[in-house]
Structure 1
């Protein structure tokens, strides 16, 4: 083989080696790969992480409580309220792309909490997991758009997938199969997600490789903070 061909092959091999998983399909696919790696095998067949927290095990084995679920819903609303406020105020112009996507959850959660109140349940005050995450989103959105976009993606897309499954299983166990508004969307969810996926790819296509890597590295923080909110479901 000519020397030039050998050199060319080496360069191609090196390029392939450094290519990020999903890169050819757009940055959202890279974020999805980074996210799936942090799932456990119990959560997804693509998961690679070993379960170390109660909420990381199979949802089928969960023993949720009404009290814990209410805490989860209240803290989730704090997080979604914050996300929607950040997007509405748009400290960075790119955030404005994600207004009125149809994925917003705050109003739906307000209806659910009102339903629980009507059933005679006391609605708790927001607790540390939700308040901590909301503050982190506020701080990072003002100075670190790559980090914020990572959280935005993971929060909304996780809820549309694993979040729905969790909602269904919890409803079977403690809500007589009632489907909360939190798990309902106007229009086709698949189309809403497709639209947001396109917007995310558009917003991130101008990022440098370093900025993209920084965004991907934030995935672990996103999982940690959202996991602490999710864990509230299992609190008695």
Structure 2
């Protein structure tokens, strides 16, 4: 199953790539590993063969999409709580970045409710991922940062197409940011690079190895769209 990270197209993936004038740092290593896990038709760095139907050809339902939004909100709420609590001081660097999605998702779900739709309770994919993030954040900061990076950067690069297809072009708050998105992303890149400066090479490699799990969890949530 394609992950949310795999929803980016080649063009969208480029928006995540830092400009040549910018210091790449460890974030570029994370980006490179994530791009390799894309299929060849999603990103030029992709190394996996395409499997299943392209996202553009999916025929999702509003019910499935609502499940996806509800579970996504649980994950983003969890990330907000983790960085606010800051079990490790480095997490505090990622408070109020402008990329937070919980508030926007709350507005979107309220809008769906006003349209007469029943908002479901969170399901296993979202619950499992949220629990994993909570446990990971308490004991393994390098692995947690991997999930933080992939969750936020993947969402900024792709995902709008499914919502637009279901809602006849309506743009949800989930896909809107206050301020210039490129500047917000660059600010996060700098913070991530700063945090990683104190890591050993072994810790950096450990962070990169967690990328596969981040794809797996996001893929489980994305699959709810077709449920």
TM-score, with normalisation over the residues of structure 1? 0.84
Aligned length: 205
Could you tell me which of 92, 95, 101 is aligned with 1:99? Answer: 95
Q: Which has the larger radius of gyration?
A: 1
Q: What secondary structure, in the 3-state scheme, does the structure 1 residue paired with 2:69 have? A: helix
Could you tell me which of 163, 168, 179 is aligned with 1:171? Answer: 163
TM-score, with normalisation over the residues of structure 2? 0.88
* Cα displacement string for residues 124-170 of structure 1 (whole angstroms, at most 9, x for unaligned residues): 000000000000000000000000000000000000002xxx22x22
- Which runs of structure 2 are paired with 1:165-204 in the superposition (5 Å)? 166-167=159-160, 169-204=161-196
Paired residues of 2:36 and 2:46 also in contact (CA < 8 A):
yes
Gaps of 5+ in 2: 1-22
Q: What secondary structure, in the 3-state scheme, does the structure 1 residue paired with 2:193 have? A: helix
The alpha carbon displacement at 1:171 in A equals 3.3
Gaps of 5+ in 1: 1-23
Q: Which residue of 2 aligns with 1:9?
A: none
For the residues of structure 1 that align with 2:40 and 2:226, how far apart are their CA atoms?
20
The alpha carbon displacement at 1:174 in A equals 1.6
Q: Which has a greater percent of helix?
A: 1
Q: Which residue of 2 aligns with 1:50?
A: 49
The alpha carbon displacement at 1:76 in A equals 0.1
Spell out structure 1 runs of 4+ moving beyond 6 A.
none
For the residues of structure 1 that align with 2:138 and 2:114, how far apart are their CA atoms?
38
Q: Which residue of 2 aligns with 1:11?
A: none
For the residues of structure 1 that align with 2:197 and 2:121, how far apart are their CA atoms?
40
Q: Which residue of 1 aligns with 2:223?
A: 231
Return the structure number with greater relative CO, CA threshold 8 A, min gap 6.
2
